[in-house]
Structures are given as C-alpha cells and as structure tokens.
Structure 1
Amino acid sequence: MPESMDIVVYLLAFLAVIINGMAKGGLGSIVGSLSVPLMSLAMDPVQAAAVLLPLLLLMDFISMWKFRGQIYWPAFIHCLPAGIVGVAIGAMIFNQLSDASIRLLIGLVSLGFCLLLWLQRNSTSRSKSSAVKGSFWGCLTGFTSFGIHAGGPPLSIYLLPLGLSSHLLMGTQAWIFAGLNFSKVAAYSWLGQLDFSNLVFSLFLVPAAPAGVFLGYYLLNRLSQKIIYGFCYLSLFSLGSVLFFQGVRELF
C-alpha cells in the first residue's frame, strides 16, 4: 500500500467500491450514489471520483456481461448522447471549483435527489420513453456522473416510470453508464486526474470490484427492495447533510 494511503481512506474506498459493485450487480444505481460522498468524508472528492473511474469501467464490463441482451433501446438512444454532453459540461465546471465547493455541491445534489425520489415514491403512473425527457435527465445524469459518479438518481427518475422489468432496467443502466464512463476517461485525462498515484490507488481496490458486482447479483432476488432503498435513502441523506455542512464550514 502506498505510504500516502491512510488506512481509513483505504477502508472507506474499499467499502465504496463494494457498494458501487453491488449497485451494478443488481441493487440499483441509486445505491452506487453513496460511493463518492462516502469517500469524500476522508479525501479530496475530485481524487475520489478519479480513483473510482477505472474500477467503474471494470464493473461495467462485468455488469454488461451479467445482463447481456437486456437493454431498452429507446431509453439508451435518448439518454446517452445527452449524457455525454452533461459529462462535457461537468468537466468545464468542476475544474473551476474548490474542494469545499465540491463538497457543498455533493451535499446539495445528494439532498436534492433524496427529495425528488421521496416525492416520486408513491407514483404509480407509467410513462413512455421520450426524447425530450430522456435528453434532460440524460444530460443531468452525465453532469452528476462526471463529478461524483452519482448519475443513478436522475437516471432512475427517468427510467423507473417506464415500468421496465428489474433485469431490463439493470441492463439498460449498465449500457448507459458504460458509455458515460468511457467518455469520462477523456475528460479526466484532460484534467490530469488519471495520474500514476490515483491509478495505483485504483489497483489496490481492484478485488472489491468483481466481489461487489457478484454480491449485488446474488442479493438481487434475495433482499427486499424496500429495505435496500430505504437504507440507501437514509444513508445518502445523512452523507449529503454531513458534506453540505462541511462545505459550508470550510467556505464560510
């Protein structure tokens, strides 16, 4: 382990990768939104996002294989191009922000998604895939995915009302996020975030990636989705609140 890698930071990062893997393995992309906020409690949030990116690509390959053939093409076509635009916007904006500002933004995004998902929780209405809605939520997905790998909530707000089966939903998310994560490689390289030290950090976390994906796939049909998402909303709200107040304290 590199000398600069504090054991607490490493353990939080290892847990974050496990959680993200479980999300890609079947527990839903909202679960993965906990990763960067969790790591941001102990390290630079921009570095946290950079360390996670190679591991997300690895998990994307595994997830696409596990859900091969399961993709809802209209949503994919509507969301991915706009998502890449969102990634480009994120690359331009996040490069201008301080660590404290990013923590504050992560906190606001986390709390905002909790509110939106809470408001949507009792909705039973179904909707059809729409180019306008898909482009809007896809762009927001790319933006939040670039900065903090938290594209799950906005994408879920668009996809869940489509009424897709769990496997079709997971497969569609897997292909969309794989496309976005590949586009982020160029953006992160441009910003100088994929440096040697971050890649070494990622290498130490590799065992957690497949373990998380297969654990999530194993638990997909064995745990109550209500309990899983209830825990995730509470955790996301708690982490968002901590980061929000951290950002406020550091800025003011």
Structure 2
Amino acid sequence: MTFPLITDASFYAVAVPAVLLMGLSKSGFLGGFGSLAVPLMALAVPVPQAAAVMLPLLFVMDAVGLQQLWPHRDRALLRLLLPAGLIGTVVGTVLFGVLSVKTVAAVVGGLTLLFLAQRLLFPPRADAPPPPRALGFVLGIAAGFTSFVAHAGSPPVNAYVLPLRLPPLTFAATMAVFFAAVNLSKWIPYAWLGLIDGRNMSTSLALMPLAPLGVWLGVKLTRRIASTWFYRIAYGGMFLTGTKLLWDGLR
C-alpha cells in the first residue's frame, strides 16, 4: 500500500525553510527560531497536521544532536527540567481538544515578549542569583505543554535557562536532551489522537534529508560563535518567535 504525499507546492515552499530552522534550533544555534517551524507550515496545512509531519523529523534531529552534544549536557539542570517537561506532555494530551492552538500561541507569544521586556528594562546584575528552581519546574511544564501542542517549547524553557548564562555548548546540549525526551514522549499520544497517518508520515519521509543537515550546520556554528553573539541571537529568536506566535493567536 502506498500513501500519497502532500503535493501542494506552497506547503514545501514553507516546509523546507521550517525544517532547516528547526534543525538549526536543535543545535542551540538560532535557539528561539525553531518555534517558528510549525507556524510556518501552518500557512499551508492545519496546525495539527504540521505538528504530525514535524514529529518524525524531530526524532532524526534529536538523534543527530544527541550524538554530537551528549557529553556537554548539564545533568543537574536536566534532573529539574525533564520531569516537568514530561508532566507538560500529559497536560497537553488532556487539553489537546479543549484549548485552541491560537489560544496557546497567543499565551506563549505574550509571555515570551513579557520576559524579553523584563530583561531589557531590568537587566540582571552580574552578581544576580540564578532564577529559583521552582520557576524552572513551572516553565518546564509549560515547555512540555507548548511543545506537545505546536512544537513551540523553546520560549518557556529558554526564559529559565538563558538567564543562567551557560556556555553555548552546555546550553545546546542540555536543550537537546530535554527536547529529545519530550519529543519521544509525544509518539503514543499523537497516535492515540489520530495524528500519525500514512500521508503525514510519507511527507515526513520526503523531507527527512533536510533534518540532519540543519542540526549539523547549527552544531558547527555553535562551536565557533562567541558567547555574546550566541545569546544575542538567542534573544533575537525569542523576540521574533514571540511576535509571530502572538500575532497568530490574536489575528
């Protein structure tokens, strides 16, 4: 039995840059931009279908990222964030049919912009203490939830992790492990919700060669970029993502 691909050319016009953006984000480079992938695809197909097409690609990206970044992960930070992220996927499964994707997009976008405004208006001192761990747990749950609904988990968790000012490779590796676990936990709920079907999986297969390419390029750039520019790009990605998500939710 064969399954037809999505054949609309407009879908691939947005899907190709979306997959490359997600791959670059998975490496830690362009950290906030990965959350734009599903909104970009949603210009051509419904959001649940875009999320389903992206899921197998995330599996490949996670595998490539883990292979290159695993030794640099922050274990203590993962012990805090991983249980929270998995709780968030459970919440996402329960609320998937209750909250609209636009509502989730607006909330995530608004909170992202508020976080950036707070950082701009009240920049932390060099000797400022790290954010409280309780905040990290709450934002980890939020990241798991928004990742489940629209693969947009970066803004909430970045709001906790970016102020920690980790070395770029440590940041990239920790986020790679966190989202690999969260993405793996989505497969059974997505299948249960009817999102794993032949057409979506065939389309994912057609896009598959792009998945490792974006991660590979991002890892190379992350190893070479200075910390100052790394964080400038990360905050820029959060600003663009927050603006796009808020716009999608309110329009």
Mark yes or no: TM-score above 0.5. yes
Cα offsets for 1:121-169 (capped at 9, x unmatched): 4334341772x23321111110011001111111111112223111111
TM-score (norm 1): 0.87
Name the CA shift for 1:3/1:151 in 2 (closer, same or farther; >3 Å): closer
Q: Distance in 1 between matches of 2:7 and 2:115?
A: 36
Indicate whether 1:198 and 2:200 are aligned: yes
Question: Conserved in 2, the CA contact under 8 Å of 1:23 and 1:216?
Answer: yes
Q: Which runs of 5 or more structure 2 residues have no equivalent in the other structure?
A: none
Quote how far apart the aligned CAs of 1:240 are: 2.4
Quote how far apart the aligned CAs of 1:233 are: 4.1
The corresponding residue for 1:102 is 101
Give the letter aligned to residue 197 of structure 2. Answer: D
Quote how far apart the aligned CAs of 1:92 are: 1.4
Structure-to-structure mapping, 1:78-93, within 5 angstroms: 78-93=80-95
Name the CA shift for 1:211/1:163 in 2 (closer, same or farther; >3 Å): same
Quote how far apart the aligned CAs of 1:72 are: 1.0
Instruction: Note the aligned Cα RMSD (angstroms).
Output: 2.2
The corresponding residue for 1:151 is 153
Structure-to-structure mapping, 1:189-228, within 5 angstroms: 189-220=191-222, 221-222=224-225, 224-225=229-230, 228=233
The corresponding residue for 2:111 is 112
Quote how far apart the aligned CAs of 1:42 are: 2.1
| Higher mean displacement: 151-160 or 28-37 | 28-37
Q: SS where residue 95 of structure 1 aligns? A: coil
Percent identity reads: 34
Q: Distance in 2 between matches of 1:3 and 1:178?
A: 26
The corresponding residue for 1:54 is 56
Q: Distance in 2 between matches of 1:203 and 1:3?
A: 9
Give the letter aligned to residue 168 of structure 2. Answer: S
Quote how far apart the aligned CAs of 1:102 are: 1.4
Quote how far apart the aligned CAs of 1:57 are: 1.1
Name the CA shift for 1:175/1:41 in 2 (closer, same or farther; >3 Å): same
Q: Which runs of 5 or more structure 1 residues have no equivalent in the other structure?
A: 247-252
Question: Conserved in 1, the CA contact under 8 Å of 2:108 and 2:155?
Answer: no
TM-score (norm 2): 0.87
Pairs aligned (count): 242
| Higher mean displacement: 80-89 or 157-166 | 157-166
Structure-to-structure mapping, 1:1-252, within 5 angstroms: 2=4, 4-97=6-99, 101-121=100-120, 122-124=123-125, 125-127=128-130, 130=133, 132-220=134-222, 221-222=224-225, 224-225=229-230, 228-229=233-234, 231-246=236-251
Q: SS where residue 33 of structure 1 aligns? A: helix
Question: Conserved in 1, the CA contact under 8 Å of 2:113 and 2:243?
Answer: no
Quote how far apart the aligned CAs of 1:228 are: 3.0
Give the letter aligned to residue 110 of structure 1. Answer: G
Name the CA shift for 1:85/1:225 in 2 (closer, same or farther; >3 Å): same
Quote how far apart the aligned CAs of 1:111 are: 3.3
Quote how far apart the aligned CAs of 1:36 are: 1.2
Q: Distance in 1 between matches of 2:181 and 2:92?
A: 16
